[in-house]
Each structure stands twice: as structure tokens, then as C-alpha cells.
């Protein structure tokens, strides 16, 4: 899944109503109330502050709000757009300044969906990257080939020489499987790679 790098805004006008979409990265549901409070102060006098958010690696936390618009005509269309783009750890708030012309149920759904879609066209996406800190032991018989490969394909942290050689290095999830398989082949077809730590971030 993807997230976004920073707060991004975009505005569209439909039948004299202004729809201002604000996309903001958020990683804790406890921060939502503070974000909404700031947005309402920043954009005073709007008729509606509708929103949807998805939080968590599997999108397990999600909510949509119509904020006074007819049921499922605002928040839910925004949420559907987030799902379509496979986004998480994000809130999209669509602020409406009513222009005097009613849009009807279908028109509202299209307006809020379009507003969310347009702001997502200009965000900077980030992708979840998992980094693994690993160790690998090998005998002196296979040192040359393994040493060269690790230095060229991972971020080498340390090497210790004892009865066997121990390499400590880090690598990212995109390369993990290929590097592990290659080290397996180079290390006399033995799986001696151990994951010591792992952490994830959106970058």
C-alpha cells in the first residue's frame, strides 16, 4: 500500500459550489480530531467539512463522515477513492462552500469523488519499505565470493573473524528474497542468514 508525503490541497468548482480537498498523512487515529479542528480554523465559514480516512498497514482503521450532507453522498465516495488508490495512513477532507445550486444525490457523489480524485493526482506518494538487519555466517572457504557480494548488494555494518566469519548488514524488503537466495547459493547451499531486526517506514 501507499501513503502520501505531505499535506496537499486542490480546489474545484461545480455549479458555483467550491470543493476544496485537503489530503494529509496521518498515522494515529488519535490525531484525527486535532487535524479536523485545525482545518475548520483554517477554512472558516464552510457549509460542510466532509472526510474519510484509512489508517494502518492493512487499512484496518477507516471512517467516513458526510458532515450534514445526505447519507453516503460525501464521506463514502471519498473513502472509495482512497481504496481505489490503495492508500493508507491518510485523511482526505473535502470542504464545501455552497454556491446556491443544489446538486442532488448523484451530483454530490460525483462532486466529492471528483474532488478527492483530483487532489490525489498531485500528491507525492510514498511506499512502505521494510529494512532488515541481518547476520550471515560462512566458512573461510567461501569468504571471497560472499564478502564481495555483500559489499556490493547490501549496506555492510560489520564483519567479525573467528572460527567462522560473521557479516552484519542491512537490506530492504524489495531486494531481500533475491539476495537471500544468492547468498544461499554462494554459502555452499546452506541457509545461514538470520534476521536480527526489522523496521518499516513510508518513504
List of domains in the chain? 2-123 (3.30.230.30), 127-202 (3.30.70.240)
Mean pLDDT of 183-188: 95
Please report which confidence band the pLDDT of residue 74 belongs to, taking 50, 70 and 90 as the band edges: very high
3-state secondary structure (DSSP) of residue 30: helix
Mean pLDDT of 15-23: 97
Quote the pTM value. 0.81
Give the model's pLDDT for residue 22.
Answer: 98
Q: How far is CA 65 from the centre of its chain?
A: 21
Give the model's pLDDT for residue 201.
Answer: 87
The whole-angstrom separation of Cα 157 and Cα 139 is 19
| Long-range contacts of residues 13-17, Cβ cutoff 8 Å, at least 24 apart | 13/99, 14/103, 14/107, 14/111, 14/114, 15/99, 15/101, 15/103, 15/107, 16/99, 16/100, 16/101, 17/96, 17/97, 17/98, 17/99, 17/101, 17/103, 17/111
Residue 132 in contact with residue 177, Cβ under 8 Å? no
The whole-angstrom separation of Cα 107 and Cα 14 is 9
pLDDT digits (tens, 9 = 90+) for 20-73: 999 999 999 999 999 999 999 999 999 999 999 999 987 689 999 999 999 999
The whole-angstrom separation of Cα 83 and Cα 146 is 43
Give the model's pLDDT for residue 141.
Answer: 93
Give the model's pLDDT for residue 155.
Answer: 97
pLDDT digits (tens, 9 = 90+) for 120-178: 999 999 998 999 999 999 999 999 899 999 999 999 999 999 999 999 999 999 899 99
Amino acid at each position: 500500500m501507499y501513503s502520501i508525503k505531505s499535506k496537499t490541497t486542490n480546489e474545484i468548482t461545480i455549479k458555483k459550489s467550491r470543493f476544496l480537498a485537503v489530503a494529509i498523512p496521518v498515522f494515529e487515529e488519535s490525531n484525527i480530531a486535532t487535524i479536523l479542528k485545525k482545518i475548520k480554523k483554517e477554512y472558516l465559514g464552510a457549509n460542510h467539512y466532509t472526510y474519510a480516512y484509512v489508517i494502518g498497514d492493512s487499512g484496518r482503521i477507516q471512517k467516513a463522515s458526510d458532515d450534514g450532507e445526505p447519507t453516503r453522498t460525501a464521506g463514502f465516495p471519498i473513502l472509495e477513492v482512497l481504496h481505489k488508490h490503495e492508500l493508507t495512513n491518510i485523511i482526505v477532507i473535502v470542504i464545501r462552500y455552497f454556491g446556491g445550486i443544489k446538486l442532488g444525490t448523484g451530483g454530490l457523489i460525483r462532486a466529492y469523488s471528483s474532488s478527492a480524485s483530483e487532489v490525489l493526482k498531485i500528491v507525492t506518494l510514498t511506499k512502505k519499505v521494510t529494512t532488515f538487519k541481518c547476520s550471515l555466517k560462512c566458512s573461510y572457504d567461501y569468504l571471497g565470493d560472499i564478502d564481495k557480494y555483500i559489499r556490493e548488494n547490501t549496506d555492510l555494518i560489520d564483519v567479525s573473524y573467528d572460527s567462522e566469519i560473521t557479516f552484519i548488514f542491512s537490506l530492504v524488503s524489495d531486494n531481500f528474497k533475491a539476495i537471500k537466495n544468492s547468498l544461499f547459493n554462494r554459502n555452499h547451499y546452506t541457509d545461514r542468514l538470520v534476521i536480527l531486526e526489522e523496521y518499516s517506514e513510508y518513504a
